[in-house]
Structure 1
Amino acid sequence: MDTKEILAKLSNCDGVSGAEIEVREVIEELLADYVEEFKTDALGNSISLKRGNKESSDIPRVMLVAHMDEIGLMVKEITEQGFLRFTTVGGIDKRTLIGQEVLVYGKDTLEGIIGAKPPHVQEKAERKRAIKLDDMYIDLGLAEARVKDLVSIGDIVVVKREFNELTGNRVSGKALDDRAGIAVMIETLEELERLRYQVDLFVVSTVQEEVGVRGAITSTYGVVPDIAVVIDVCHGRMPGVASDEAAKLGSGPAITLGPQVHPQLHQKFKDIAKDLNIDYQIMVDNNPRGTDAFAVQVTKSGIATSLISIPLRYMHTSVEALDLDDIKSAARLIANFINRVDSEFVEGLECF
C-alpha cells in the first residue's frame, strides 16, 4: 500500500476513545509484515517490537508513539419519541455536528442523522444563539419501541465520513488526528527496511489520548524506553489562524519544541533534517498536556521525549485535512533518527 491507501484504511475505520478494537485490528494488520512481536496491554494499547541489528545486552530501547483513538459521541438518553440525546467523547467541535450522518453502534450498526429545531420555528432570541448540544438529537427514522430494542444508553456513535482525495497531495477525512501519526509509524518501518540500526524499536498505538492521554501512561510504563518519539498533529495554517500558532501544509513535519521535549533530541532531529535536506518546520508548544508526549515524558523517573507533528486543518471535525508529503517526510526523518541512535548517544543525553 502507498501512503494514501494506508491513511484511507486507517481513517475509514472507527475507534472512539475506549472502543478502539476495530482500529487496533487494522493497525496490527498493517504492521504485521514489519514487526516480530505483538502485545496488547490491559488498557488496550497495541505494542509491537522490531528488533535491531546489534547483538548486545545494552541495546537502546526506542519507542514510537501515536494514538489510535478518535473523538466521537455516546448515547445518553432515548426520548419518548425515539430520538437519541447524546454527549461527546473527547473535544469534538460541536459547531460541525448539525446535519451530519452518523453510525450508532447498538445491537446492530444503525444509520442516523443529527438534527435540531430549524430556524423557521425558533423564537427570535433562539436564532441568535449557537445550538447547544442538549438541543441536538439523533434521528434513526425508527419507532420508539424499535429504537429501545436496538439502542442502549452508552452506545458509541461516530460521524459517517469517507476518506476523500482533494487536489494534489491533499486529503481529508475523519480521525486524521491521529491516524496520520499511525501512518507515519508504518511508513517509518518501511523506511527502516533499507537501513541498519542498533536499537530495539517499540511501535505503540495508544488508546484514550483524547480523554486524558491514558494509554500513553500505561504503555510507557510497560516498555520503559530510553528514548520516545511521539507523533501527533498540530494546527495547519488557514484563514484566521496566526502563523505562529500553525504550520504550513506541505512544508514538512513540525519538530516541536516545548517543556515536554528533550532539547538534545530536538536538536538531533533538526541536524538530521538539514543533513538530508528533509523539509521541516519548528513549532513551539507551551501546553505540554495536549499530546501523549507529556504522559510519556513523566513516566517512572522520566523519559527523554521528542514530538513530531503533522500540520492538520480543521482539527476535531470530520473533514480534517493534511498533505501526504508531510507524512512521508516525517517517516524519513524519524527512520534516519533511529538509524543514528546507539548506546553512546543514549548515554550522552543530559538531564535538563
Structure 2
Amino acid sequence: MKDIKFLEDITTMPGGSGDETLVRNLLKEEIEKVTASEIDGFGNIIGRVGKGKKVIAVGHMDEIGYMVRDIAPNGMIKLSQAGFVFPQGAMCQVYTICTSKGQIEGVIGFSMDRRSNEFPSIDQLELDIGCKSKKEVEELGVEIGNAVIAKSRFVKLQNDELLSKAWDNRIGCAISVRVLQELSKMDLHCEFIGGGSVQEEVGCRGAKALAVNIKPSIAFSLDTSPASSQSGFECGKGPQLFVMDSSTIGNKKLLAFVKKIANEKNIPYQVGLLNRGGTDLSELQNAGGGCPSLAIGIAVRNIHSPVGIINYNDYENAVKLMVEVISSLDDETIEELSRF
C-alpha cells in the first residue's frame, strides 16, 4: 500500500463544497511533482501532460457536509446541508467548523426525550461546541456560511480495506493525480488533463467551468458509488464502469474500448447502473457540443458518512486501468470513438 499516507491525508482533511482549499493545496503539491498546476477562477485545479487531442479525467474535491445557518442565543449552532446527507448518520459524531480564525470542533448530539425510532430533520440538527451564548460563539470566529465537516479517523481494516470519511470523492482525486504522474513518464499521443473539481456535491458547478474552458475530446469522471445489493457493486471487485446514472448514459463505444483494454491487461472491473446519484460527467459530457464520456468509480460501503470503507486494490486497479486506457488513445482512436 504505497499510497496509504497520501490517502490518509487527502481523506481526513476537511473540504466542503466551496471550501476546498486544503484539498486543492495537497493536489497542487502532487501535480507539481510532474508538471505545472493551473487553478481557474472557480477553484478547479488541473495539470496537463502529453500533446494532442484533450482527454480529461478528474475527481471532485468537495465532500458532503453542512454550513452554519444560524447561531441560537444559547450557543447552539443551526445547520443547513451542503450536499446529500443522512440525518441519522449525523448523530453523535464529531464535526469541524472551518472558520477564518481556524478550526473548531463540536458534536451533533441527540435529545434523550426523542423517541428512539425517530430521527431529526436537517433543520433540527444542532452543533454543540461547548459555548453558552451566541456572543461566545461569534467571538471564536464562527459565522453564517462556515463549512461544517465530519471528523474521522483513518483506519486500516482487514483484507486491504480502509476506513475514512470523504472517499466521495477524494479517492477520485487521488486516482486522477496518480494517473497524471504515471503518464508523465510516457510518450503520450494525446494531452491528458487530471486534477480536482469543486462543488460537485451541490450541482457539478466546477465541472461546468472545466467543460467550457478545456473542451476535451474525451471525458472521464472519476467518482464513487454505494457498495450495495441494489447497485450490484462490491468492494474489492475492481473499478466500476457506469453504464448509466441519473444524469448520464456512458458512451457505448468508449465503454467497449475500456472493457477491451481491461480484459487485455487482466484488470478486474465491474459494470452496472445507478438508479440514483450523478457525477461531474453530467457537465463534462457537454464539452464542445458533446464528447464521448464515461464515469468510472470506486465502490464505497457506508458512503456519505464519516465511516466509509473502500478496498485499496480497487484504487490500484483504477489507476492501472486509466493509465492503460489513456496511453492507448491517439487522434485516430479518438475520432473513431466520436463517430456515430
Correspondence for 2:160 among 141, 146, 169: 169
Correspondence for 1:95 among 88, 100, 114: 88
Pair 1:205-2:196 in alignment: yes
Helix, strand or coil for the counterpart of 2:333? helix
Deviates more, 1:254-263 or 1:326-335: 254-263
Per-residue displacement from partner, 1:160-181 (whole Å, max 9, x unpaired)? 1122211131001111001111
Tell me what 1:56 maps to. none
Tell me what 2:31 maps to. 31
Aligned partners of 2:70, 2:285: CA distance in 1, in Å? 39
Aligned partners of 1:60, 1:104: CA distance in 2, in Å? 42
Aligned partners of 2:335, 2:125: CA distance in 1, in Å? 56
Correspondence for 1:248 among 223, 234, 247: 234
Matched-pair contact (CA < 8 Å) for 1:3–1:187 = no
Helix, strand or coil for the counterpart of 1:300? helix
Structure with bigger gyration radius: 1
How much has 1:337 moved relative to structure 2?
0.7
Moved over 4 A (4+): none
Tell me what 2:19 maps to. 19
Aligned partners of 1:33, 1:108: CA distance in 2, in Å? 28
Unaligned runs of 5+ in 2: none
Could you tell me the TM-score, scaled by structure 2's length?
0.93
Aligned partners of 2:281, 2:240: CA distance in 1, in Å? 14
Correspondence for 1:264 among 253, 265, 284: 253
Matched-pair contact (CA < 8 Å) for 2:238–2:313 = yes
Tell me what 1:86 maps to. 79
Aligned partners of 1:320, 1:199: CA distance in 2, in Å? 35
Aligned partners of 1:299, 1:285: CA distance in 2, in Å? 23
Pair 1:280-2:269 in alignment: yes
Helix, strand or coil for the counterpart of 1:116? coil
How much has 1:24 moved relative to structure 2?
0.3
Aligned residues: 334
Helix, strand or coil for the counterpart of 1:16? coil
Tell me what 1:111 maps to. 105
Cα 1:330–1:128 change in 2 (3 A) is closer
Cα 1:108–1:285 change in 2 (3 A) is closer
Tell me what 2:171 maps to. 180
Aligned partners of 1:214, 1:328: CA distance in 2, in Å? 28
Q: CA RMSD in A?
A: 1.8
Matched-pair contact (CA < 8 Å) for 1:246–1:311 = no
Q: Which residues in structure 2 correspond to 1:151-162 (within 5 Å)?
A: 151-162=142-153
Helix, strand or coil for the counterpart of 2:257? helix
Could you tell me the TM-score, scaled by structure 1's length?
0.90
Aligned partners of 2:331, 2:145: CA distance in 1, in Å? 48
Matched-pair contact (CA < 8 Å) for 2:91–2:109 = yes
Tell me what 2:39 maps to. 40
Give the share of equivalent positions with the same residue, in percent: 29
Unaligned runs of 5+ in 1: 53-58
Aligned partners of 1:223, 1:339: CA distance in 2, in Å? 19
Helix, strand or coil for the counterpart of 1:273? helix
Correspondence for 2:61 among 60, 65, 68: 68
Aligned partners of 1:108, 1:9: CA distance in 2, in Å? 18
Matched-pair contact (CA < 8 Å) for 1:82–1:148 = no
